[in-house]
């Protein structure tokens, strides 16, 4: 088995955990690696395996996805990975939330899958310089509504007289 590649440095004062990404074996690359990404309530699961560069989202080819903005958003990590994206097939299934949140979670799942498949430090640096949210899930969630108000923070207007 190959020696693991360290992608994150352990910061003793900040308490961050060390993330070790192992280079996958040839058998794992052929069978496929599974990666998950989230945004709001949208969850995207990507399976990456050795192939010819096909990308499908919910059994639909990337080329037929509409609107154009969402297609461009999803294809960003593929353009950054360049040659690697032509050597792999990626199948993504996504559910929950709205179309933009789904697109952001698909984009993150593809970026994480490409990184896990290649275990390349330069690719990780390229993703981090372009947009950190390619590799980090967005933890923000909708705040719940409270009593005596119309929303999470808004309250009913009080009358003084």
Q: What is the dihedral of CA 11, 17, 23, 24, to 10 degrees?
A: -170
pLDDT score recorded for residue 120: 86
User: Is residue 108's pLDDT more than 80?
Assistant: yes
Per the structure, the count of domains in the chain is 1
Q: What is the CATH number for 41?
A: 3.30.230.10
pLDDT at 74: 93
Q: pLDDT tier at 112 (50, 70, 90 boundaries)?
A: very high
CA distance linking residue 104 with residue 161, whole number of Å: 50
Residue-level pLDDT at 2: 45
**Nearest CA-CA partner of 5 in 87, 100, 115, 135:** 115
Q: What is the pLDDT of residue 1?
A: 41
Domain that residue 89 falls in? 29-134
Residue 96 lies in a domain: yes
Residue 161 included in any domain: no
- Residue 85 inside a domain? The answer is yes
Averaged confidence pLDDT in the chain: 84
Say what the pTM is: 0.79
If you ran DSSP here, which 8-state letter would residue 138 be given?
A: B
On the question of a cis peptide bond just before residue 76, with omega within 30 degrees of 0, the verdict is no
119 assigned to some structural domain: yes
């Amino acid at each position: 088995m190959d020696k693991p590649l360290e992608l994150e440095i352990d910061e003793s004062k900040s308490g961050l955990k060390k993330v070790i990404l192992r280079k996958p074996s040839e058998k794992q690359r052929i069978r496929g690696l599974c990666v998950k990404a989230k945004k709001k309530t949208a969850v995207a699961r990507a399976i990456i395996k050795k192939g010819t560069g096909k990308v499908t989202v919910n059994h639909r080819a990337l080329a037929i996805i509409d609107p154009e903005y969402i297609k461009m958003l999803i294809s960003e990590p593929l353009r950054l990975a360049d040659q690697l994206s032509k050597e792999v097939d990626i199948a993504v299934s996504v559910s929950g939330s709205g179309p933009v949140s789904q697109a952001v979670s698909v984009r993150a799942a593809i970026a994480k899958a490409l990184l896990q498949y290649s275990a390349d430090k330069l690719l990780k640096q390229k993703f981090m310089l372009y947009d950190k949210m390619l590799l980090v899930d967005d933890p923000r969630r909708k705040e719940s509504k409270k009593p005596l108000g119309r929303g999470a923070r808004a309250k009913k207007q009080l009358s003084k007289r």
